[in-house]
């Protein structure tokens, strides 16, 4: 019978393969922003978050402030806290506090989706296995992408860099087609982004992301409130 760790590694293989291709685009993006291969590698190793890393590199390239960086990361990554709260209801009794802290490193959208579908309680070893394979895929793709970004022509790296943005579209298009509320929030955020870009060019990219995300989310909550029985 397979151990929980091996089961987790098996479940993490599809995630790791997906991360390998997507993080390749991030690596190229980081190299284009002037970061070294080692710096790009360490960002992926210590963060493990696609959207947060992409926006973080943009802020670094633009010479943004630490406050701006912190606020952007809070807005973009706060969903992981909600995922952690949800997963905490499935954790096995063997999840001590140190083990919870270690497992928190690997809470991403995809890992959360896999772990939340586990029947019964979630074992620490299973989550560690999923996280390990996923992390290896993410950092390996980043290393390869950043290395390629330093040697390939600018025209090629610009084309390959679109992989990361393709992932973002893949995340928002399917739910936007199903839910009118999600589509409206996406449209509002896109429209506000254009306004910030062309009408308020002095506004930094980081604060533009914060404003667009908060305003679009607030509009969605006001226009499409969830009834109490829908959230249960």
Q: Quick: pLDDT tens for 12-30.
A: 999 999 899 889 889 988 9
Q: How far is CA 232 from CA 54, 56, 61, 80, in A?
A: 34, 35, 43, 20
The interaxial angle of helices 97-104 and 124-151, nearest 10 deg, is 30
Q: Indicate the pTM of the whole model.
A: 0.76
- Could you tell me which residue, 40 or 150, shows the higher pLDDT? 40
Q: What is the rounded CA–CA span in Å between residue 10 and residue 152? A: 34
Quote the DSSP letter at residue 63: T
Tens digits of per-residue pLDDT, 80-110? 988 898 898 899 999 999 999 999 999 998 8
Looking at the DSSP bridge assignments, the partners of residue 122 are: 91
Tens digits of per-residue pLDDT, 156-204? 766 666 766 776 677 678 888 888 888 888 899 889 989 988 888 877 7
Q: For residue 77, how many other CB atoms are within 10 A of its CB?
A: 18
């Amino acid at each position: 019978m397979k151990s929980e760790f091996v089961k987790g590694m098996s479940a993490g293989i599809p995630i790791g393969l997906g991360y390998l291709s997507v993080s390749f685009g991030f690596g190229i993006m980081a190299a284009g922003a002037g970061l070294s291969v080692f710096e790009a590698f360490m960002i992926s190793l210590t963060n493990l978050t696609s959207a947060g890393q992409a926006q973080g590199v943009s802020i670094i390239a633009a010479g943004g402030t630490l406050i701006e960086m912190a606020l952007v990361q809070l807005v973009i990554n706060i969903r992981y806290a909600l995922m952690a709260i949800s997963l905490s209801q499935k954790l096995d009794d063997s999840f001590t506090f140190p083990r919870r802290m270690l497992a928190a490193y690997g809470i991403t959208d995809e890992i959360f989706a896999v772990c939340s579908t586990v029947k019964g309680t979630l074992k620490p070893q299973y989550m560690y296995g999923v996280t390990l394979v996923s992390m290896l895929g993410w950092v390996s793709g980043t290393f390869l992408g950043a290395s390629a970004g330093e040697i390939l022509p600018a025209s090629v790296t610009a084309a390959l860099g679109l992989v990361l943005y393709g992932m973002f579209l893949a995340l928002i298009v399917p739910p936007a087609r199903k839910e009118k509320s999600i589509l409206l929030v996406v449209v509002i955020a896109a429209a506000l982004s254009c306004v910030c870009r062309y009408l308020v060019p002095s506004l930094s990219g980081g604060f533009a992301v914060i404003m667009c995300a908060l305003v679009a989310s607030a509009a969605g909550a006001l226009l499409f409130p969830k009834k109490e029985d829908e959230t249960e």
